[in-house]
Structure 1
Amino acid sequence: MNLEIKTIINGKEIPRAQVLAWEKKRALVVLKKLGVKPVSDDLAILRQQLDDRKQVLGNEGILKLLRWELAVSNPMAVLTARLSFGFRRLCITELVTSQGTAEQFIAWFNECAQINNERAMLAGTPDHYMIRTNADGSQEVVETNGGSPLAAHFLIDYEDLSSLRSPIDHTYPLQIAGVARSASGVALGGVRHQFRNEGSGFRARLLVEYPLLILPQVLKGHQWHLASEFGNWIEAAFNQGQPDGR
């Protein structure tokens, strides 16, 4: 499939090449954090190095490697959420595809979650360290949120919309949404990603809710994070077939 993806941030169209350049920059940062020396500046090779290293470390190795970051970021996230008293800031990125349907992409995403295809989820963007589906159906995530210097550890419950503050845009009939909580159960924010078919493809309005007191650079950086991860996931969904590689 000759798939094209248009990225829109703050009303401005961003060339796909710039999104890939952002991904390459983050790949170099993450490889260093994981103790790996890049062997090339080619993005495809950097992606393979990241995949190899994360597979070797596994979830327990990743958690051990990032334990000091998480020991700082986890209580900071809870404190920021509590001091924000439920008020939120919204981080939004839009993607428009030239082909495919919203239903097809959501089915791919949901299947990845159901069969716990961590490899496909990690491949979204370099800043993903762990994305696994737990026995209760929640998605456990360790990632660097946008412009944050530290990795974060949280769980998303896609059956729980109770504390989301973002309004539903009814021009988008489909969504992937859920509350993000700390390990102790504190609501940190959430996601409301909405989708609609448009022309020969579809439009994704990707939205993350952060506590009101979040640093502005985290929001700005996470717009690029969303562009990277969902752009790569969309390409995987339509160019690579099923989540198990078939």
Structure 2
Amino acid sequence: MKTKLHVNPSIRTIINGREIPRQAVLEWEQRRAQTVLRKLGVSPANQDLATLRRQLLDRKLELGAEGLMKALRLELGISSPLADLTAAMSRGSRRFSVTELIVSGGTAEHFVDWFHERTRNNDELAMLSAAPDHYIIRTNVDGVQEVVETTGGAPFATCFFINYSDLSSLRSPPDHAYPLQIAGVARSAKGIALGGVRHQFRNEGAGFRAKLLVEFPLLILPQVVSGHQWHLASEFGNWIDAAFA
């Protein structure tokens, strides 16, 4: 059994070359939590982020995967064919959504191992807790991760499947200055390549740096790409906190 590493790191967020205060990222999460709670039929208890997180996780667990899919059926009915069409019309060309995190303690190896372990063990609590817009993140018997989430500034939730052993259609080049990565192609239920992820990590100073990248079809709305930079800052910030807690 692996020993937990307790370092309580601080996290700096860089978007488009500009440092974003951690408090601004938490306020973004707070607004999204309130929005998602209302979508799931619950009035937010108060403005406290810790309370909103607990309330939202409780609601997701109460509904379960079946209830969440039912609550999102209209959104998914719109977004699924639209995602396939956007990918087809983009002809494999992509837009990149990139966020960098600079972490004051811990190691890149520990975080990447933690994430892979959570994925292998299908730790839905760790996946759901990371972001308000995570509805379902679960790993099937083939090791493929099913994701139902609202990506960044998208108007609707989407469903896709990430295969972390498939890098075949990624357009982002690996950065050899980052020896570790979490990467894979994202496909629709019909098997169409929608994009993918290439999250890269390296040790730096007394901590590590994460270069987080999501590939979207070229013809996606620009606000989805820019909004997802905040989504990445929020979810990976929370995962890093959990990995070293």
Q: TM-score range by the shorter chain?
A: over 0.9
2:230 is the alignment partner of 1:234 = no
2:66 is the alignment partner of 1:60 = yes
Partner of 1:99: 105
Moved beyond 4 Å, runs of 4+: none
Mapped partners of 2:189, 2:131: distance in 1:
23
What is the alpha-carbon root mean square deviation over aligned residues? 0.5
Contact residue 147 and residue 159 of structure 2 kept, 8 A: yes
Which residues of 2 match residues 137-148 of structure 1 at below 5 A? 137-148=143-154
Mapped partners of 1:39, 1:163: distance in 2:
43
Mapped partners of 1:102, 1:155: distance in 2:
25
Candidates 76, 83, 87, aligned match of 1:81: 87
Give the superposition deviation at 1:155: 0.2
2:29 is the alignment partner of 1:23 = yes
Give the superposition deviation at 1:2: 3.2
Partner of 2:163: 157
2:198 is the alignment partner of 1:188 = no
Structure 1, unpaired ranges of 5+ = 240-246
Q: Output one character per residue of 1:158-181: Cα deviation in whole Å (capped at 9) or x when no partner.
A: 000000000111100000000000
Give the superposition deviation at 1:183: 0.5
Partner of 1:11: 17
Mapped partners of 2:173, 2:143: distance in 1:
25
What fraction of aligned residue pairs are identical, expressed as a percent?
A: 68
Give the superposition deviation at 1:39: 1.1
Mapped partners of 2:113, 2:176: distance in 1:
20
Mapped partners of 2:102, 2:200: distance in 1:
12
The amino acid across from 2:88 in the alignment is R
Contact residue 32 and residue 132 of structure 2 kept, 8 A: yes
Q: Output one character per residue of 1:190-215: Cα deviation in whole Å (capped at 9) or x when no partner.
A: 00000000001000000000000010
2:178 is the alignment partner of 1:178 = no
Candidates 72, 75, 86, aligned match of 2:78: 72
Candidates 102, 112, 122, aligned match of 2:118: 112
Give the superposition deviation at 1:226: 0.1
Mapped partners of 1:13, 1:190: distance in 2:
25
Structure 2, unpaired ranges of 5+ = 1-6
State the TM-score, normalizing by the size of structure 2. Answer: 0.97
Partner of 1:134: 140
Give the superposition deviation at 1:107: 0.8
Give the superposition deviation at 1:64: 0.8
Mapped partners of 1:105, 1:29: distance in 2:
29
Mapped partners of 1:209, 1:69: distance in 2:
21
Which residues of 2 match residues 208-223 of structure 1 at below 5 A? 208-223=214-229
Partner of 2:4: none
Give the superposition deviation at 1:3: 1.2
Q: Output one character per residue of 1:225-245: Cα deviation in whole Å (capped at 9) or x when no partner.
A: 000000000000001xxxxxx
Give the superposition deviation at 1:40: 1.0
The amino acid across from 1:141 in the alignment is V
